Structure 1
Amino acid sequence: MGENAGADQVKENLLQLSCHFTWSLLFEDADIPDLEMRISEQVEFLDIKGPVGMHNLLAYVRHLKGQHEEALQSLREAEVLIQEEPLGKRSVVTWGNCAWVHYHMGSFAEAQSYLDKVENTCKDFASPFRYRMECAEMDCEEGWALLKCGRRNYRRAIECFAKALEAEPENPEYSIGYAVTAYREYFDDNKMSLGPLRKAVMLNPANPYIKVYLALKLQDIGEREEAERHIEEALSSTSCQTYVFRYAAKYYRRKGCIDKALQLLHKALQTSPESGYLHYQIGLCYKKQMTQLKTSRTKHPSRQSNMKKMAQRAISEFQKTVELRPTFEMAYVCMAEAQAEIHQYEEAEANFQIALNMQNLVGHIEQDIHFRYGRYQQYHQKSEDKAITHYLKGLKIEETSYAQRELLKALNTVANKRVRQNVRLVESTSLLGLVHKLKGNMTEAQLYYKKALRLTGEMNPEF
């Protein structure tokens, strides 16, 4: 009974800690191998941030796999690094994680001894709480953990970095964390991400990792010269190379320099052969080459066979991506699009369905999947009805995004075509009304809805 009561008391104290075990990090079990690989990469190749936080996250992921000895090994590495730096507030995260792992292993006395270490540090820093501290360093640690665990955590990661920056507005590390998260969360909103990226580069002038993010954002808004300057500076640095190569490759792919992009991606692949992200980016390069061949004006006899070759290369890279990251929805979609181009319709349909049936998707991603599947139905399967169904499903998701604008354009095109061809006139006209309504053009929307009403010749309650 005494042992149990002790365990209950330890558990109660553990729940008061602020560490990876209490931060509610969201990710799918299927993504754990990939997440573990990405954390290990960051420890090895990303020299911008002390690796203590990544060792901590690695320990948590290993605990989830039931590898408690390995988890403790990661935490021992974190503890060694803590001793090298002046004893700071962040040590309570590592000790908190140690306490949790020992608790799960049934070593309650060990767990309590780590809880005591946390308590003493909290006293040293005059924290009003027994087992946790509320300070910028802790917010920053939580922010990095959330950022690393993927999309579903970005909104909370931004809040953590914002809170840390309130306390220390000019802190270089907090500014990088905030800027990278803002770039990913508000990828569609230049105002929200450009300012933080500029500030992060100003506070970290020698850091190539943050420069490539700024370059990608400047490319988005058409500031080509400045973007190019940052890319060249980043590529001339020797730090963070694996990361610089992968983001610079994205820059060159979007610029249309596919060979240069592929060269950088293959360089990055030498150090990270198991990176799902790199295989995805390589797949996108081959897919782009496939599209270039498809739309090129030259009627070269080998064009068709080259296009097929590029499609197959792209498919094989996307296949590797989903083996490494089974919940990477856009890899299934891109694979399906490449398969559709070479008439592998059964395979394409199966991959679209995997993406369409995924749970916990972010709004703009779900919109994009419906848009691309709709386009596949319209142009490959010649089914305008199914296309319209998916354009409407995508538009039901209320999020302002690039995908939403594409859905509106697609719906507008197909509805206009049907009006011209006199196909289901009432429905097509009212769809045009909906497009204008969603664009915020209420006057035009009313005109189309009235027109549709007149066509029905009776009051349709839907209008």
Structure 2
Amino acid sequence: MSGSSKTAMKLRLLQLKCHFTWKLLVQDTDPEELEERLFSQLTFLVTKNKYMVHNLLAYVMHLRGDHTKAIDHLKKAEEMIEEKNPEENSKKYLVTYGNYAWVSYYLNRYEDSQKYIEKIEQIYKDLKDKAEIAEIYGEKAWSLLKFCGQYYEDAKQSFEKALELEPEDPEWITGYATVVYRLEGFNKKPSPASTCKSLDLLKRAVEMNPTDAVVKALLALKLQDLNRTDEGIKYIEEAMEQAPKLPYLLRYVAKFYRRAGMIDDALSVLKTAVDVNPNSGFQHHQIGLCYRLKYFIQKKKFGNKRGEGLEKEMNDLIQNAIFHFEKTLEFKKTFVYAHVDLANMYSEAKEYQKAEDTFKTVLAFPSLKDEEKQQVYYNYGQFKEFCMRSEPEAIDYYKNCLQIKKSQKEREFAEKSVKRISAKKIRNSIHDAEGYALLGFLYKSNGDRNDAVDCYAKALEYDPNNAEYVSELCELKLMI
């Protein structure tokens, strides 16, 4: 194929609606971990749209550079569509054929690529050039939802488009409820029921999909978020009756039990799930959280009063938590929160070098989101302050946390830590310039510029040659 023909084909490919044109970027996910999750869903989830899983798996194979396996998954997707849609030109083929065209192009099979482009064009002709197709919006939304959390808002918009075209489709209703629920989960502060859009959406999804145990568990978790655990338990029990060994469900059931303080029940459910699907990083993480919670409950109850038996129990809880957090990272290598949880448990075990190395590893990740950075900075600051006894380093990490404007609990905790350190310094010496400068930094990070000016001015009274304080004060005065 000549260069100009190849360019013309590339332009036609870029107009197709499929995974290759939906901007699913490899740097935003872990292809290996995503592949594991998708295979788990193929094995355990009951859905009429499994062909979509194969379509996304084909794209994941492309990201991993294995176009032969990509073709295999596209064949399976095509077979599944054909089984339920015997008409040759069903609109359900559009995304699959688009993926075929792209994979063929990457394999230098230009005639095959052209063939699939023509198949797509024929389907659109049969549809009288109908551009708005619910299946495409729905599959795009589903793929964005599975790919990574930062695509959830785009997934929500695509589900909304699918529902505009097919408002009673159970799959799109369930997907939309799920993504709204997850987006609400990004806001760590609890919201009143009146502002929780996902509650009504999840209720409708349960009505439309009475056999979907997973969506019942999500509804139960949302009710629990709203302090309506007694209502939620009904849906948990129904879900467990329907699918007692479905790993994808058990993860949510265990989360519900753990948050309700039923830790042993949560552990029992999770061990069942791990027996069925031992390579699930999520489930190992949940088990680690259960052991961690049991440890801190005991620590709060007994403090430093520990006999030989209790000491062994506490050490066992620490080691069990560490084991499962380490297993989590075997399967989910870039799971930021699991790294933080592991580092904190290393600290409890007094394995300080391992904790240090774990914090450094996660901070080196190239694409940390702001909320992830906040959690790492705050926890690293705690480690530096209380384990390494390095207050200056702790202050630096608390400041890094505060400079990120995301309103999360870690930011609030960092603010309290800076206030505590500042108060201690001023209490120890009324002339402590750094104590006032820390307060100035805190006021500035919260937008209270006048109070920040007063604090930095006070700091300069006691340390008049400090270039940092002079610079901060000048900057603040220019901003007022």
TM-score (norm 1): 0.90
Deviations along 1:177-200, whole A, 9 cap, x unmatched? 222223333314347983224313
Superposition CA RMSD, Å: 2.6
**Which of residues 163, 169, 172 in structure 1 aligns to 2:170?**
172
In the alignment, what sits opposite 2:75? Answer: 76
TM-score (norm 2): 0.87
In the alignment, what sits opposite 2:334? Answer: 327
Distance 1:240 1:134, change over 3 A: farther
**Which of residues 336, 358, 367 in structure 2 aligns to 1:360?**
367
Structure 2 residue 428 is matched with structure 1 residue 450: no
Equivalent AA in structure 2 for residue 290 of structure 1 = Y
In the alignment, what sits opposite 1:311? Answer: 318
Distance 1:123 1:405, change over 3 A: farther
Bigger relative CO (Cα 8 Å, ≥ 6 apart): 1
Q: Secondary structure at the match of 1:327?
A: coil
Q: Is residue 217–residue 236 contact of structure 2 (8 Å, CA) maintained in 1?
A: yes
Give the alignment of 1:249-398 within 5 angstroms. 249-297=254-302, 299-398=306-405
Structure 2 residue 425 is matched with structure 1 residue 427: no
In structure 2, what is the Cα distance between the partners aligned to 1:412 and 1:231?
42
Residue 116 of structure 1, CA deviation: 1.2
Structure 2 residue 472 is matched with structure 1 residue 462: yes
Mark the runs of 5 or more structure 2 residues left unpaired by the alignment.
474-480
Residue 50 of structure 1, CA deviation: 1.2
In the alignment, what sits opposite 2:181? Answer: 183
Q: Is residue 254–residue 269 contact of structure 2 (8 Å, CA) maintained in 1?
A: yes
In the alignment, what sits opposite 1:235? Answer: 240
Residue 260 of structure 1, CA deviation: 1.0
In the alignment, what sits opposite 1:32? Answer: 31
Structure 2 residue 65 is matched with structure 1 residue 61: no
Equivalent AA in structure 1 for residue 55 of structure 2 = N
In the alignment, what sits opposite 1:222? Answer: 227
Q: Secondary structure at the match of 2:16?
A: coil
In structure 2, what is the Cα distance between the partners aligned to 1:6 and 1:127?
25
In structure 1, what is the Cα distance between the partners aligned to 2:244 and 2:141?
23
Equivalent AA in structure 2 for residue 103 of structure 1 = Y
In the alignment, what sits opposite 1:139? Answer: 137
In the alignment, what sits opposite 1:103? Answer: 105
In the alignment, what sits opposite 1:51? Answer: 50
Residue 271 of structure 1, CA deviation: 2.3
Q: Secondary structure at the match of 1:302?
A: helix
Distance 1:197 1:302, change over 3 A: same
Q: Is residue 211–residue 231 contact of structure 1 (8 Å, CA) maintained in 2?
A: yes
In structure 2, what is the Cα distance between the partners aligned to 1:239 and 1:295?
34
Q: Percent identity?
A: 35
Q: Secondary structure at the match of 2:242?
A: coil
Q: Is residue 245–residue 276 contact of structure 2 (8 Å, CA) maintained in 1?
A: no
In the alignment, what sits opposite 1:92? Answer: 94
Bigger shift: residues 216-225 or 142-151: 216-225
Deviations along 1:304-342, whole A, 9 cap, x unmatched? 222222222222212222122221122211111111111
Distance 1:265 1:111, change over 3 A: same
In the alignment, what sits opposite 2:152? Answer: 154
In structure 1, what is the Cα distance between the partners aligned to 2:258 and 2:363?
27
Q: Secondary structure at the match of 1:187?
A: helix
Residue 301 of structure 1, CA deviation: 2.6
Residue 144 of structure 1, CA deviation: 1.0
Deviations along 1:214-251, whole A, 9 cap, x unmatched? 22233223222222222222222228822110011112
Residue 10 of structure 1, CA deviation: 2.9
Length, aligned pairs only: 455
Q: Secondary structure at the match of 2:196?
A: helix
In structure 1, what is the Cα distance between the partners aligned to 2:226 and 2:340?
26
Distance 1:220 1:409, change over 3 A: farther
Residue 149 of structure 1, CA deviation: 1.2
In structure 2, what is the Cα distance between the partners aligned to 1:220 and 1:336?
27
Bigger shift: residues 402-411 or 25-34: 25-34
Distance 1:59 1:378, change over 3 A: same
Structure 2 residue 118 is matched with structure 1 residue 116: yes
Distance 1:84 1:204, change over 3 A: farther
Q: Is residue 96–residue 118 contact of structure 1 (8 Å, CA) maintained in 2?
A: yes
Residue 110 of structure 1, CA deviation: 1.6
Q: Is residue 71–residue 101 contact of structure 1 (8 Å, CA) maintained in 2?
A: yes
